[in-house]
């Protein structure tokens, strides 16, 4: 799929043209654009996946080359430099044990600063719409478009 970027003048002309459109025309254009965007996004995700697959393979080959040569990387003049890096990743092995530990330590710094919207909504449903203490709620009004016959 070869997709060309629309020149800025064409985008501006299209934006201007939409001012005189009926709601039906706007909705039809919106749905065509969303469908096109979806196809392009799917295509780009597939291409990106292929790029990542080949790049990871090359990284693994160069890591093996570095190990075989007992070096931590390579410098190729006028090309680039490779180097080894270690990334530590962590996951919770046992929820109950870990949360008990945090409560004992009185330290929730082990968690990232984000709340579960789903859990907050459930809490509010069970507490007459009240937010948990220390939580803000932001609502944004938007216009959504659903294709006819879709649910």
In contact, 26 and 18? CB cutoff 8 Å: yes
pLDDT tens digits along 115-142: 899 999 999 999 999 999 999 999 888 8
**Given a cut of 90, is residue 147 above it in pLDDT?**
no
**Given a cut of 80, is residue 76 above it in pLDDT?**
yes
pLDDT tens digits along 77-111: 999 999 999 988 888 999 999 999 999 999 988 98
pLDDT above 90: percentage of residues in the chain: 78
- Kindly list the distances between the CA atom of residue 39 and the CA atoms of 1, 31, 42, in Å, as whole numbers in the listed order: 9, 12, 5
**pLDDT (average), residues 13-18:** 93
The neighbouring-strand residues paired with 73 are 83
**pLDDT (average), residues 46-51:** 96
**What does pTM read for this prediction?**
0.64
- Rg of the chain's alpha carbons, rounded to an integer? 26
């Amino acid at each position: 799929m070869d997709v060309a970027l629309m020149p800025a003048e064409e985008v501006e002309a299209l934006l201007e043209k939409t001012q005189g459109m009926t709601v039906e025309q706007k909705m039809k254009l919106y749905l065509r654009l969303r469908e096109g965007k979806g196809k392009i996004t799917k295509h780009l995700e597939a291409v990106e996946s292929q790029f990542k697959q080949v790049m990871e393979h090359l990284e693994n080959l160069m890591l093996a080359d570095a190990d075989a040569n007992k070096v931590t990387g390579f410098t190729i003049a006028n090309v680039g430099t490779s180097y080894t890096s270690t990334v530590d990743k962590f996951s919770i092995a046992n929820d109950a044990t870990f949360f008990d530990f945090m409560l004992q330590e009185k330290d929730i710094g082990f968690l990232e600063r984000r709340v579960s919207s789903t859990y907050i909504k459930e809490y509010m449903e069970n507490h007459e719409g009240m937010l948990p203490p220390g939580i803000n709620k932001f609502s944004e009004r938007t216009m959504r478009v659903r294709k006819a016959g879709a649910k």
